[in-house]
């Protein structure tokens, strides 16, 4: 009887060890994955500006102005985007507190709505500025490109087009 109990204990210890190793490797695999897939390789003219340059056949002066408009747009909307992200975080934290404050959630959701409205107007004005730089043929291509991006539900290139590289520290996101 003693021999059989030792065998059972040995098997149990082996199974527990094997289970721990399996779970550990699964956790390591899941936790070591990046939050986003790596961007596809970029050519010399990659990213959104490269996409606009290729699709709209922008000249150097237009490309320079597009960069200025883009930088101005991101600088003006950075605070709106950051505020909205922070307010959403606070609402989620509030939802899981023991005594959640519904008034705080209502107030923040109203702020988020107002903020989103300002952001949409800023985007609209940004597109108007972009359109003003284009000739008639480019305006048609720009409209088609922007509508494709809107229909895909993303703020990046439409499907089957290049994605911009991830932002570097201190740079505004290009998505």
Q: What is the pLDDT of residues 21-47, one digit of tens each?
A: 888 887 777 766 655 555 544 444 457
Distance CA(169)–CA(165), nearest Å, equals 12
Q: What is the pLDDT of residues 52-64, one digit of tens each?
A: 778 888 888 988 8
Instruction: Tell me, rounded to whole angstroms, the distance of Cα 14 from its chain centroid.
Output: 44
Rg over CA atoms, the chain: 26
The model's pTM is 0.57
Least confident piece of the model among 40-49, 128-137, 140-149: 40-49
Indicate the class that CATH gives domain 47-152: mainly alpha
Measure Cα distances from 107 to 75, 95, 112, 117 in Å. Answer: 26, 14, 9, 16
Mean model confidence pLDDT for the chain? 78
């Amino acid at each position: 009887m003693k021999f059989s109990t030792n065998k059972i204990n040995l098997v149990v210890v082996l199974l527990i060890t094997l289970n721990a190793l399996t779970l550990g490797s699964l956790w390591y695999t899941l936790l070591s994955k990046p939050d986003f897939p790596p961007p596809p390789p970029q050519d010399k003219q990659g990213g959104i500006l490269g996409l606009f340059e290729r699709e709209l056949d922008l000249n150097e002066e237009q490309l320079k102005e597009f960069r200025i408009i883009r930088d101005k747009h991101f600088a003006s909307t950075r605070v709106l985007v950051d505020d909205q992200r922070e307010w959403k975080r606070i609402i989620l934290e509030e939802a899981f507190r023991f005594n959640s404050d519904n008034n705080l959630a209502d107030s923040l959701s109203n702020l988020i709505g107002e903020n989103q409205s300002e952001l949409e107007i800023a985007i609209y004005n940004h597109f108007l500025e972009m359109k003003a730089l284009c000739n008639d043929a480019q305006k048609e291509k720009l409209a088609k490109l922007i509508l494709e991006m809107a229909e895909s539900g993303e703020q990046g290139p439409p499907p089957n087009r290049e994605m911009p590289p991830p932002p570097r520290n201190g740079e505004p996101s290009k998505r």
